Amino acid sequence: MQARILVFTAVLVAAFVVAPAGPAHALADAQIVMAVSESDSVDAKSVVAFCPRGTVVVGGGARISGGGEPYAHITSFGPLPRVGWFAVGREYSGRTARSWEVTAWAVCAQEPPGLDYVYALTSPQSIPWQSVQARCEKGTRLMAGGGGIYGDADGEVILAEARPTVSMDAYNVRGTVDFAGFAGGWTINAYAICAAVESYQEPATSAGNTISPKAAAASCDHGWRPNSVGFLVHGPDGTVAANDAMF
């Protein structure tokens, strides 16, 4: 299976999947739930995909689509602990009159052993970029992650990185002020879903050139299924953002 990221410059996309710590927790019951926002030209939208009763959220993804897709980007995505997965999109500071929508995908399953939702947040600052890491407790590994931009940035700060660490024990998130600049304060946060399971990541990289947009798809090994996605934008800070982090 594949995970896909669509951005507007060179990008590294890391897709990672989960294997069970034991036969009783194979996540064979995992299901994907999707929710879509209204489709219009309102400059900010959010949506939540809720898991069915008796399951918990263990991963997810987000996407911007519609005629206004080139003018909007994902500003926040991640778990609502246990209950679902949210996604937030916002237009760039230039705005657009075209309609667009944001979609959230939640991966839902019976609770795996050692399940933990970790949250990390920076303090409000007025600087060109910030980064934060949500780290799993010892004895657990990363299953999925997310992050977001908060404050009065109003589309002028973008997510440049949201991906797992190589060791699969934390999730890194980085935001940058866009090329137009932003003088106000803003914060960035990171989410990590951790459990006593085995997991790994599979990266893929797009071509590095000035063609826009770009996409990269990472394929899982046979027998594994994607649980969450991540991305890293390689390009001038503040000029590129992701609008598709799905599987």
The β-bridge partners of 152 are none
Q: What is the mean pLDDT of each run of 10 residues along the chain (247 residues)?
A: 39 41 56 95 94 95 91 93 96 85 95 95 92 96 92 80 92 88 89 90 76 77 76 74 77
> What is the SS3 assignment for 138?
coil
- Six-digit token string for 45: 């939208």
Instruction: State how far the Cα of 71 lies from the Cα of 156, in Å rounded to an integer.
Output: 12
pLDDT at 243: 79
DSSP 100: B
**What's the pTM?**
0.88
> Which of 166, 156, 240, 232 shows the shortest CA–CA distance to 201?
166
237, containing H or E segment = none
pLDDT at 33: 97
Instruction: State how far the Cα of 80 lies from the Cα of 247, in Å rounded to an integer.
Output: 19
The answer to whether 71 touches 44, Cβ cutoff 8 Å, is no
The β-bridge partners of 27 are none
| Residues making up the chain, counted from first to last | 247
Instruction: State how far the Cα of 217 lies from the Cα of 245, in Å rounded to an integer.
Output: 10
- Six-digit token string for 222: 């046979």
Phi, psi of 19, rounded to the nearest 5 degrees: -110, 150
DSSP 69: G
Instruction: State how far the Cα of 18 lies from the Cα of 8, in Å rounded to an integer.
Output: 29
pLDDT at 21: 43
pLDDT at 4: 39
pLDDT at 131: 96
Q: Could you give the dihedral angle defined by the CA atoms of residues 211, 159, 232 and 199, in that order, rounded to the nearest 10 degrees?
A: -140
The answer to whether 109 touches 85, Cβ cutoff 8 Å, is no
Instruction: State how far the Cα of 44 lies from the Cα of 39, in Å rounded to an integer.
Output: 11
β-bridge pairing 157-164 and 226-233: antiparallel
- Six-digit token string for 81: 């602990």
pLDDT at 189: 96
Instruction: State how far the Cα of 59 lies from the Cα of 56, in Å rounded to an integer.
Output: 9
- Six-digit token string for 57: 């959220």
